[in-house]
């Protein structure tokens, strides 16, 4: 599906990352559900928007 996150979701994810940085021991950032297609190949069932946003953040650093 197309990327659909808006500023509110980006800010929520950023706050999650900040919480991890300040040393919170446990922090739930949502589930990522994958389906195995073949060995080392997966289909993202849930969490695509979160993974796409994290990828952009990592590449921007």
Single pTM value for the model: 0.74
Report the pLDDT value the prediction gives residue 24, as an integer from 0 to 100.
67
Residue 13 backbone phi and psi in degrees, to 5: -65, -40
Gap between the Cα atoms of 51 and 53, Å rounded = 5
Mean local confidence (pLDDT), 45-60: 93
User: Which is higher by pLDDT, 10 or 19?
Assistant: 10
Gap between the Cα atoms of 16 and 22, Å rounded = 10
For residue 59, pLDDT beyond 70: yes
Task: Quickly tell me which residue has 């969490």 as its tokens.
Answer: 47
């Amino acid at each position: 599906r197309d990327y659909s996150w808006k500023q509110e979701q980006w800010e929520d994810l950023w706050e999650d990352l900040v919480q991890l940085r300040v040393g919170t021991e446990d922090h739930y950032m949502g589930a990522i559900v994958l389906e195995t297609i073949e060995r080392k190949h997966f289909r993202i069932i849930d969490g695509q928007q979160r993974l796409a946003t994290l990828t952009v953040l990592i590449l921007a650093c």
